[in-house]
Amino acid sequence: MKFLDQVKIFIKAGDGGSGSPSFRREKFIEFGGPDGGDGGSGGSVILVANKNLNTLIDYRYQQHFKAERGHDGSGKKKTGKCGKDLILKVPIGTQVYEEDNNTLIEDLTEPEQKITIAIGGKGGLGNVRFKSSTNRSPRKKTEGGKGESFCVWLQLKSIADIGIIGMPNSGKSTLLSVLTSAKPKIANYPFTTINPNLGVIRYDDKEITLADIPGLIEGAHEGIGLGDKFLRHIERCKSLLHLIDITSDNLNENYSKVRKELFKYGNKLVKKNEIIVFNKIDMMNKKDIERKIEIFKKKIKKKIFTISAQNHTGLKGFKKNLISYGN
């Protein structure tokens, strides 16, 4: 499935139906008087968060949406039928912004959460509304009100407990695939992952959601590589899993580059709980692994997990620890 996490759409609520200028016309009744009914209200535009969606791709090719107009009133004081509301489904985690793409209108974070984003116009008044003691036969009626119309931005921020970050080709997608039932694209070259991937870990009747985003390189916060386009998808995470390829030449330098990009994007990311994981331990002997960890810990005094996502070494205990970080 193709991925789209930001789109601008135009929405138009339905106009209200017009009131009726009808007069009662029946046999043997010469002056029946006014009997024009009111117009029906126009339909509104409603956004609903749907748990089965994970992309805004449906809005790539259709970006104009219009709710139904209210029906006109008619004789015998009949009110016109209201226009149908237009329901637009979006993924959980969708944020709705005004046209400036800066002013937040609503953040849809719960299943079936909804917001009436554009309200339909009120129905016009029929001539029966204007009958009075001084005007027994009013011909006046009013047009329906205009429905609201404007552009909004939809931005998707993934809902996950733990975000997997790291340099390109560090094994993030492989780790996601072995910990969860997710099936991201995996290959031995940088930027294999070009879209966020989500997966769910279940352990002892508990579950957490992991998000794997494309690899970060120096200058990512300015758009280099796949840039900061996907960093928004880890803003909601409780913890960040920093995956590092233990076979790389300078572990401290690689670690610092990623942390630096997180800080430049927004210091809220660097304040999150961090889980440091050295991957690909199957490609080195035990002595070299211990030496690299010792060098790394001289500057970074944090707990380190060592695993091999490829051959599943160390994953059982690691999985149990992840549950505690995600809850």
pLDDT in tens, 172-204: 888 988 888 766 443 343 333 446 778 888 877
CATH classification code of 1-156: 2.70.210.12
The predicted pLDDT at position 30 comes to 65
pTM of the model: 0.76
Tokens in use for 218?
């120096």
Q: Give the number of other Cβ atoms within 10 Å of residue 302's Cβ.
A: 11
Phi/psi at 131 (5° precision): -70, 135
Phi/psi at 66 (5° precision): -135, 130
Assigned CATH topology for domain 162-326: Rossmann fold (3.40.50)
Q: Give the number of other Cβ atoms within 10 Å of residue 119's Cβ.
A: 18
The answer to whether the 1-156 and 162-326 domains have the same CATH topology is no
Q: Evaluate whether 234 touches 271 at the Cβ level (below 8 Å).
A: no
The predicted pLDDT at position 27 comes to 72
What's the Cα-to-Cα distance from 146 to each of 85, 88, 94, 237, rounded to whole Å? 15, 20, 27, 42
Q: Is the pLDDT of residue 115 over 90?
A: yes
Cα gap 37→59, rounded to integer Å: 38
Q: Could you report the per-residue pLDDT of 248-275, keeping only the tens digit for each?
A: 989 999 999 889 888 888 778 889 999 9
The predicted pLDDT at position 221 comes to 44
Domain boundaries, the chain: 1-156, 162-326
Amino acid at 318: F
Query: Which residue has better confidence, 17 or 199?
Result: 17
The predicted pLDDT at position 151 comes to 97
Q: Could you report the per-residue pLDDT of 223-239, keeping only the tens digit for each?
A: 444 445 677 888 888 99
Burial class (CB within 10 angstroms; exposed 0-12, middle 13-18, buried 19+) of 324: exposed
Per DSSP, 34 falls in state B
Strand 239-245 vs strand 273-279: parallel, antiparallel, or unpaired? Answer: parallel
